[in-house]
Chains A and B, each alone.
Chain A
Amino acid sequence: AQSVTQPDIHITVSEGASLELRCNYSYGATPYLFWYVQSPGQGLQLLLKYFSGDTLVQGIKGFEAEFKRSQSSFNLRKPSVHWSDAAEYFCAVGGAGNNRKLIWGLGTSLAVNP
């Protein structure tokens, strides 16, 4: 079955600390992988995506993620968190067909302490 697991429902970090949000997926075909961020009252904004090629991808706002096929993981990282990074983070997987519907994780809520 196709699924995405984000094991951490809620994470709190101090401003300036490093961050890693975990994402594991189960998908029968070659996956497209995405991280989206949602701030309160806002839509879902794409942080980064992996389609093929270099397994370490860079995104907006200083985020990066590494695709590890052997571990079925696509963890999101940031070396130094800013207070404005407090938001809900969603990992999603999709396929290469024309439809490309996304299958989502439950999300990780990030709080940043000053």
Chain B
Amino acid sequence: EPEVTQTPSHQVTQMGQEVILRCVPISNHLYFYWYRQILGQKVEFLVSFYNNEISEKSEIFDDQFSVERPDGSNFTLKIRSTKLEDSAMYFCASRDFGTGGNEQFFGPGTRLTVL
């Protein structure tokens, strides 16, 4: 069964460093998402991506964040200069195109720890 994969599973970085979180969505899906979950808090929407551009972003997704689909299979989230408060679990999701309540398929997440 196709699945969304994410690497690495755990990333530890120093404050101020750049990190890139990688995701491989399901191959025929067209919509891509990043969410994050700070420990003990709700899962929060960060950004959605369709047709090689951002379709919506939350207020969390400031200039320090960027997304890219560099090669037609990977979908990356870059944080340019990490802060302590960026420590969280980051989930990637993808969705097929179509009407109806199409579900988002989630990866296992990347736990980012900023020291």
Contact = CB atoms under 8 A, between A and B. Distances in A.
Determine if chain A interacts with chain B.
yes
Interface of A: 32, 34, 36, 41-46, 49-52, 90, 92, 94, 98-107
Interface residues of B, number: 28
Interface of B: 3-4, 31, 33, 35, 41-45, 48, 50, 55-56, 58, 91, 93, 95, 100-109
Nearest to B101: A51
Given A99-B55, A101-B45, A101-B58, 17 more contacts: A34-B101, A43-B91, A43-B109, A44-B106, A45-B106, A49-B103, A52-B101, A90-B43, A94-B101, A98-B50, A98-B55, A99-B50, A102-B43, A102-B104, A104-B42, A105-B42, A107-B42
A42 B108 contact: yes
Contact of A43 (B42, B58, B102, B108): B108
Nearest to B56: A99
